[in-house]
Structure 1
Amino acid sequence: MKESRNIYALLGFFFLALTFGCVEEGFELPDSEARIVNPAVTRALPGGTAQVSASITDPVGLGTVGIQYAAWNLNEQIDVAGATSYDLQYELNVPAEAESGTSHDIVLAVTNTNGVSVQDTLKLMLNKDTDGPAIINNTTTGIVFMVDGNDVTLDLKIEDTEDIATLTVKNEIFSDEVVINAVSFQYKQNLNFLKAGIYDFEVVATDVSGNTTTEVVTVVAQEPFEQMYLADVATDADLQAALMGVPVRTEATTDAQLEGKAFTARYYNAAAGTEVRFIPQKDSFAPLAIGAGDAAGTLAVAGDASVTPIVLSKVGYYEIAVNLDDMSYTAQTYTPEDSSYAYTMVMGTGVKVNGASTCEQNADPSVTQCWHFKSGKKLTKSESSPYRFSADLEFYDQDESRDNEGGMILGANESGWSDFWRFDNGEEPEASVRNGGTNFNFTNDQLGTYEFIFDTHLNYVRLTPKK
């Protein structure tokens, strides 16, 4: 009986060993296939490159990753044997002869260590966007008058053929960044300006392909202006060199609603094609210059003389009205109706008119008689306008024993004082004053030769260094 139990035990061990041996010899790897996550291919253009990407995993183990497209003889095989995960980043070269605007099916094939294959098809579009988003600026152009308590709204529309990634708007007082992820976006931001100035906002729009567009949006914030000038020169140096008449003074409106916002200039245009701009400061085109806008009759602003000028196409008298509230202007010619003078003359001391001294009596040049109508020297009358007179004036030191004694007035009567003209300001005149005003006095550092223009219709005087 004891021997029988031993025999049964031996048989049990035999069959157990046989069973385990069969399992070892017939062992099979578990069923599995690769997973392809987030497969993608970027758009491209003929002759360019496209990026193929995917995350690939298989717990059994990966074998090869293939990128295939028979039409382009593409059969790239990447050996990743043993890895259980692989991050595919493959740069695909597009043939130059490929046709723009077409689509192509790129096959992504993955085989694991079991020899099990899976594949995915990626559609490659040959219409890559190389342009940045369009920035459409609907912000109010021109001048925002701070006295009105006006906010200004930055109003921008951003558009692209693919998703816009981000929009950044910034300058020294403001910064904003928006994540968009859409093909169109409307951006509006209210801003309140506490200080006058020209504010440039840098606007940067970037799409999902990394294409970028940058534009500058300018907002001009100003207090109402106390004065406005017409400038028919183009440099600060010319503005500063003139002793009178440059720039040309304008008249402010009497409309209370437009006080400080609307001005009118009367101006004689001596040559067709004269370019003029308007400036609120007398000696410079900075920080603000006003000129012509893109549309007829509209105004534009800039921080210097780069603003497009208003062009006066005809010779003659103009009335130019600018409205800075609605950024418009009109420029109309007109014909004066007032009486003209047969002649006008300069009287004074330390002045030569076309070489003749105003201190030499006309009847007897040996007699010194300054500041007198009997020694007044006539200006040259214009052939194009009966109201305009001109001459070369030389300011010189009449009496070396005295400093800054030179000066002048104007007259139109060799036999008496009436009519005469003096000036609205004795040091920096902007206009003549008929039968009134103040003598113009020049200093020793202003000695030299000047071109002088006098217009009796406009009461305009212009004195600029002779070139």
Structure 2
Amino acid sequence: MKKKTSFKKRKVLFVLLGSLFVLSLSAWITGCKDDHGYPDVDGLSPVLTLTSDDIQTAAGRSITIEGVISDKDGISAIKLECPELNLDKTIDVIEIYEKPLETYELNYKFNMKRDEIRESFTIKVTVFDVGNRSVSQDMHVTMDGDFENPIFTLSPDKNVTVLIKSETKFNLRFSISDDRALDYLTIEIPGIEGFEPLRLDAKGENKFEFMQKIILPNKAQEYNVTVTATDKSGKQSIVKSVISVSEMPDFEKMYLADVATTEELNNDVFGVPMRIERTRAYQYKANYYCQKAGTEIFFLPQKSDFSPICFGLDPEDNSKLTDDPESAKPIVLEQANIYYEITFDTRKSTYNIKTYSIAEAIDPIPHKYGSTNLDTWGDGGSWLQEFYFGYMTSKPSQVQRFTQDNTNSHLFYLEEPLPLEAGTQMNFVIHNWHSDNWWNYCTWRVDNSTDPEIFGYYGKEAKYTNPAWTKPDHVGDNWAKPTVNVTGNYKLIFDAHLERAKLVRVTK
């Protein structure tokens, strides 16, 4: 007779068998997962498809590493490597999305150094899945890309006046640069007898200069000038100008030039030469701060050149002005750290000069620059904790504060130059700083956004500004939006008394 197994022993046996089953199942599951605890689906490596494995770029520009990645097990990370570019970037997909992804659209932007001199690079793109399986692909980057149109660094103004003389002539002059290589240029001036359209070979150079004297008929007439520059990649830039041949006109605009060369006239984004005031027909008034004794100035009705008209001292009679750029002598300002006021009549060729001190000059600034604890509302309280203003591209809490000149309290500038790329359209005003962001308490706007010449005090109210400042508002709510032609570092200088600013390229 068999001995029956006790209930207690059967219970122990069932527990042991159950434990073994759980352990076996756990071991089986563990064997089908990676180190992160995610199960394998197909156990295959990721699939990486780059949008392009060969990219052209240039120093100072950006590249975008793009592609599509897929993996049924789950993408865990993407690594981008290029030691020569100091690129060592890991995109941790699981950390970003809190889980692995089956598909991922790679889109990573990388900025090339402005001073980069290497000609090519290889960027290694590696993708990992949750099973630590990986796939890699190389992307070749070359620095020979052509992205910019040719740039006219010097060209005639849109409207140019040529005065009728015994020999009526126009010096057509322009300079062109290209980030790569120029191919050819064409010049067309219909209607001038003896002037045939020109095609000039630039021979693959990245700079080209041209100057030719053109004799015009001695009669009132207009001529259309078209200059087209084409680079080796087929990109083009076109400059058009209207030449008006006439007797002395009543110019709506006049400018003061305190530089010596045509290159310096065109070395700015705006402000050089400086716009002056037309007071009545043929009469003008120039207010100017002279920082250096012996500063030489001329007056120009065109902005880009000293020709075809330049008002300066008549070499045969210094009490008179001449309009001839070949014979005009500069007006010399003998005193430093003082304001000059020069009035002149272009029809009578007369002029007059007087001076006034920095203390006599006024501006609309409502408080001492850099002062604190201001009783803004005149009620014994204090709201604006400190008073500064400067270059503003977004909001007052991010104003780049001006430095006030030690000698002239009306003169301000940015301490550090602005690095600007060719083709960039700027967007800024001069505005008070404030921690609470928007408050148009003290602000200057411009007469013309794309071509600013006057920085007028905007939206003033008597209780907020200097009561002695009686100039009317003569600008609208216009932000300055000029386009930069040449890449470089630019110095911003602002005179609150003159309501003029200039942004000039510097070499340091």
Structure of higher CA gyration radius? 1
TM range (shorter): 0.3 to 0.5
TM-score, normalised to structure 2, is 0.41
Higher strand residue share: 1
